[in-house]
Structure 1
Amino acid sequence: MNTRTVVISPAPTANGDLHLGHIAGPFLAADVHTRYARAQGREVLLGTGFQDTSTFVVTTAHHRGVTPAELVATSAAQIEASLAALGIGVDGYTGDDDRFTKWVVDFVGRLHSAGKLELRTMKFPYSERTGEFLLDGFAAGGCPECLAESCAGLCESCGALVAAGELLGVRSTLDPEDPVVLREADVLVLPVERYREQLRAHFAANAAGMRPHMAQAMAQMLSRPLPDFPVTYPISWGIKVPFPEVAGQVVNPNAEPMAWSMHCTALAAEQRGVAAGTEDALWLAGAGSEIVYFLGFDNIYPFAIAGPAMLLAFDGQYDLPTRYLTNEFYELDHRKFSTSRGHVVWSRELAAEVPRDLIRFHLAATSPEHQRTSFSRDALARVTGTRLVEPWNRVADKVNRWIGLGPLAVSERSRRGAARMAERFAASYELAGFSLNRAAETITDQLARLDRREVTGADAGDFCFEVDRLLRAAAPILVDLAAAVLGEDAGAAPADVDSFTPAALPRLRPAEAGR
């Protein structure tokens, strides 16, 4: 039986701040589940951080006219501040320190020493003008699998691995006018095909741990031979490897996820006072950890195929992740967020203008769980106003009439109703059926029900009791409202009470539209 849940949201690239698209996807979902599970008395570790080894750091710095180091330093601080601004309670926040770098080299080094990595000659885009290979974010073109625009690494549209040498209409992202040719280089690869049947068996046994889009994509990818996965790249940006046959090369940033996840878990454990010992202690077979990812669909290859294949290469030393809660893209006014075009809403800036409970509720209501969804300021004001702010304020006014008149009697009927309400929320918060959309809908439905009720002295206790239980159930989303009313007692509460003394409820401030 699992003794703890390890919740991980893959690290965003340190090439800018977090916009609402980032928060609406994996981060809010991971935070909400973690808050709920802890309220049930479970042990949960939540980790994320930032990644500075991605070549997108270099390309972004180039276009902004700053050094990569300057961009990383600024972005790392912005990412951490934005998570805090939206109430994302991270335990382990990774960075670019020596401890992480050493662990990645050690992790890959053990695979190398065991003979699990093999030398392959592969073709890569190459700039003869600069004398550099163009990999990952350095090159763009068409995905050979789905034909959508992609980079020379992973396709964010179909989730497939993109062999750099097979990119269609390849061009340099640093200089689109620079002619690109293909050149061979020897790199170390993991022969992922060797582990395909084990991966198929694992994901078949854990099919309930994936949403439909990911399950479909995984079935398709695992139905045919898997290409060799490059673990090293012949470029200079990244974590240097000490292997003489690929001297001067670095770890492919998409080969870091399992080592990064273990490091992330170790930091989270240390923060919460959980004894771990080594970076990978909580990932060892039999350690009692359920590994759960909340991630964008575009991250499934490194975290669900290449990464687990690396774990399998350790011959049973590690347990594999069992759940992947994916999300699709969250757009702004039905167009993709774009920092370069100024088409973006920054998380911290919005949180400085709008109560973050309203932001969290709206992002939950519009979270892109199964298809692309969109954000607008007008919709934020309208949806939160009609579904949350206005009904809550009316309900709060009804409760506040009874302040100082308790304890008030609570009936068996009301206790049963509160229990059913808690069950509906639990169905949305538990991993087996996790859905921010349904959790937000349940808040809306229950508020509307309470808003319609006429409260008299005979049922004032029932009404105030059910409002309290609604707020407790909504606490993983409405963090500030719950904290203001319930304080440290925001978790689950006894249901078998005969009386209830209401506390004063604050009113919510509405969001402004059209800004």
Structure 2
Amino acid sequence: MTGSGGPARPAIVIAATPTPNGDLHVGHLAGPYLAGDIYARYLRAIGRSVIYTTCTDDSQTYVVATAAKRATTPQALCETSTAAIQRSLTAIGISMAGLPPIDERYRQSVLSFVTRLHDEGRLRARTVRLPYAEHSGTYLFDGLVTGACPVCLAGSCGGTCENCGHPNSFDELLDPHSTLDPAEPVSYREHTILVLPMEDYRERLSAYFEAREDRWRPHSMQLIRELLAGPLPEIPMTMPGDWGIAAPFAETPGQILYPWIEAMPASMYSTWWAAGQQGEQQPEAFDELWRAEHGAEVVYFHGFDNTYHWGLMDLVLLMAHGERYVLPESNVCNEFYNLDGAKFSTSRNHLIRGTELLADTPRDLVRFFLALTAPEYQRTNFTRQALREVTEQRLVEPWNALAEAVSLLMTGRAGTTLATTPAGRARAGLVLARLRSCYELGGFSVARAAETIADQLARLRTMAEDGPAEPGDLLLEVRTLLAGAAPILIGLAEQATAAGLELDLSAEPAGEVPVFELPRLAFHHQSLDNPTAELITRTPALDGAV
């Protein structure tokens, strides 16, 4: 389903805010960014107004940790990483207006959002114990500290465990060590910060998830149930630190806003900025398009390890503003994408960067393979050999064979139209409905969409090469498949529409179809020994994973 507001309902699609501690790798792209792009493109194809956006998460401690490791400054790392992230998003065809600047308008948006909660009395002062690096005098949290998860005992950074998804705030991480200097002695010190108590919103949270349970994937929903079954944590709103936005509250002098609470005002600011970039009317207030009276359908795309943040913490931050904001319709969560059996990781240098892969493989092939192997319900694995073999066998070779067969069948018929039969229109309708069900929010699955495209392509190739009884039916079904594949195979769709072919995902199969030339797919890979594929020994995690 696309929401209760019907086809005219505006949509805001948010991909997890990337941490600018390096470029996006293929694991990132196969997760929230490509899936969010496919959903946004589908909504536009059926006539919905869509803003698809995100922004970099500059305040994260992972930036500080990575900058120290690379002997640079956090600011310099943010600048180079943001430029690299934008190049990767552009290279794979992510249909965003760009990454908005993290400037004074951004900071004022975040402060406005948080200050309203403070002024309305939603925040509480709490004295908590925090890990403390004795020599440097640094309070350790999130990417500055590593240890063992108190729930599953896996290695984890502070904040949340990427393995089980549970939070580990304040002094909960077992055997903590500084990521800046693992040998530095770590003790605990008490510090008074501001928090937002989640328990104040338990009743509303329970009702929210009960109404939307069928729109969540099972693993993430299991984590939400586990969290709701026990005492809900308190959200840190401020922390002692010197990288981030200075907290403006008299109760917490010298503190910063906790980096993770920026995600909601950052998403609102990004939506405001993107509206102007898309040529739409840009409201005066940064949060206007998120206000409840506009009824936007908000959908988040993120990884399982961010389920606590995007699924619970950020939801409470919206609820704490009363009825001011629309709440998300769904969180589409992906699992980890492995590279040769181990999780993609920027800080471990176990990765293939998106721009490197796209430098030697055509964009449509990359999008198809990442969609087909997307880690939607469980971890999946990427290898260059599989990319080469699968795209050649299931996409390029059958697609180009179909294009050649159609071209031969239509010789001498250019500029004409062909009639279709009820049977042909029925088949086209079935394919269209099947693909639309893959893109609709209730059963959203880019893997199932890519599988459907490959299956239908094989069927239509056989139909064309055997000589169809009704050539008009073949053309109609080919055009329907191309329209249904357009959110994934964006290059093919652009070529077809530039040639005048109408690709409509909302129209009923037509009684006649114009003769057209089906565009071909390019196929080019460099050697599987391409030196740009980085497969380097893993080291302890520093990722702010999306």
TM-score interval, normalised by the smaller of the two chains: over 0.9
Offset at residue 52 of structure 1 (A): 0.7
Give the percent of matched residue pairs that are identical in Structure 1 and Structure 2: 45
Is 1:460 matched up with 2:471?
Answer: yes
Aligned match of 1:45: 51
**1:443-468 alpha-carbon deviations (Å, 9 max, x no partner):** 11101101212343743222222212
Offset at residue 209 of structure 1 (A): 2.2
One-letter code aligned to 2:237:
V
Match 2:315 to one of 292, 308, 318: 308
Aligned residues: 515
Contact 1:294 1:324 in 2 (8 A): yes
Offset at residue 510 of structure 1 (A): 4.6
Contact 2:392 2:523 in 1 (8 A): no
Alpha-carbon distance in 2 for matches of 1:42, 1:277: 23
Alpha-carbon distance in 1 for matches of 2:105, 2:36: 25
Match 2:143 to one of 137, 145, 149: 137
Is 1:151 matched up with 2:120?
Answer: no
Is 1:317 matched up with 2:333?
Answer: no
SS of 1:368's equivalent? Answer: coil
Offset at residue 504 of structure 1 (A): 4.5
1:354-433 alignment, distance < 5 Å: 354-401=361-408, 402-405=410-413, 406-433=416-443
Match 1:210 to one of 211, 216, 222: 216
Aligned match of 2:537: none
Offset at residue 340 of structure 1 (A): 4.4
Is 1:97 matched up with 2:111?
Answer: no
Alpha-carbon distance in 2 for matches of 1:33, 1:229: 31
**1:182-214 alpha-carbon deviations (Å, 9 max, x no partner):** 111110000111111211111111112211111
Alpha-carbon distance in 2 for matches of 1:248, 1:322: 37
Is 1:247 matched up with 2:242?
Answer: no
SS of 1:379's equivalent? Answer: helix
Offset at residue 499 of structure 1 (A): 3.9
Alpha-carbon distance in 2 for matches of 1:114, 1:322: 26
**Cα distance change on mapping 1:393 and 1:216 into 2, 3 Å:** same
Alpha-carbon distance in 1 for matches of 2:287, 2:96: 19
Offset at residue 157 of structure 1 (A): 1.6
1:49-198 alignment, distance < 5 Å: 49-91=55-97, 93-198=99-204
Aligned match of 2:296: 289
Alpha-carbon distance in 2 for matches of 1:166, 1:303: 21
Offset at residue 162 of structure 1 (A): 1.0
**Cα distance change on mapping 1:267 and 1:403 into 2, 3 Å:** farther
Aligned match of 1:502: 516
Contact 2:420 2:510 in 1 (8 A): no
**Cα distance change on mapping 1:381 and 1:4 into 2, 3 Å:** same
Contact 1:443 1:470 in 2 (8 A): yes
Offset at residue 275 of structure 1 (A): 4.8
One-letter code aligned to 2:528:
G
One-letter code aligned to 1:124:
L
Alpha-carbon distance in 1 for matches of 2:518, 2:324: 54
One-letter code aligned to 1:498:
E
Alpha-carbon distance in 2 for matches of 1:159, 1:430: 27
Alpha-carbon distance in 2 for matches of 1:47, 1:174: 32
SS of 1:141's equivalent? Answer: strand
The more displaced of 360-369 and 479-488 is 479-488
Alpha-carbon distance in 1 for matches of 2:68, 2:103: 23
SS of 1:277's equivalent? Answer: coil
One-letter code aligned to 1:88:
I
**1:419-452 alpha-carbon deviations (Å, 9 max, x no partner):** 1100000010111110011001101110110121
Alpha-carbon distance in 2 for matches of 1:183, 1:510: 58
**1:34-57 alpha-carbon deviations (Å, 9 max, x no partner):** 111111111111011211100100
**Cα distance change on mapping 1:104 and 1:499 into 2, 3 Å:** closer
Aligned match of 2:533: none
One-letter code aligned to 1:135:
F
How high is the TM-score relative to the length of structure 2? 0.91
Offset at residue 486 of structure 1 (A): 2.2
Alpha-carbon distance in 1 for matches of 2:382, 2:24: 15
Offset at residue 403 of structure 1 (A): 4.4
Is 1:471 matched up with 2:482?
Answer: yes
Alpha-carbon distance in 2 for matches of 1:352, 1:362: 16
One-letter code aligned to 1:337:
F
Offset at residue 276 of structure 1 (A): 3.3
Is 1:481 matched up with 2:492?
Answer: yes
Aligned match of 1:337: 344
SS of 1:94's equivalent? Answer: coil
Offset at residue 274 of structure 1 (A): 4.1
Alpha-carbon distance in 2 for matches of 1:222, 1:445: 41
Alpha-carbon distance in 1 for matches of 2:527, 2:442: 36
Alpha-carbon distance in 1 for matches of 2:156, 2:350: 20
Contact 1:410 1:500 in 2 (8 A): no
Contact 2:492 2:521 in 1 (8 A): no
How high is the TM-score relative to the length of structure 1? 0.97
The more displaced of 487-496 and 366-375 is 487-496
**Cα distance change on mapping 1:504 and 1:152 into 2, 3 Å:** closer
| Higher RCO, Cα 8 Å, sep 6+ | 2
Alpha-carbon distance in 2 for matches of 1:334, 1:369: 17
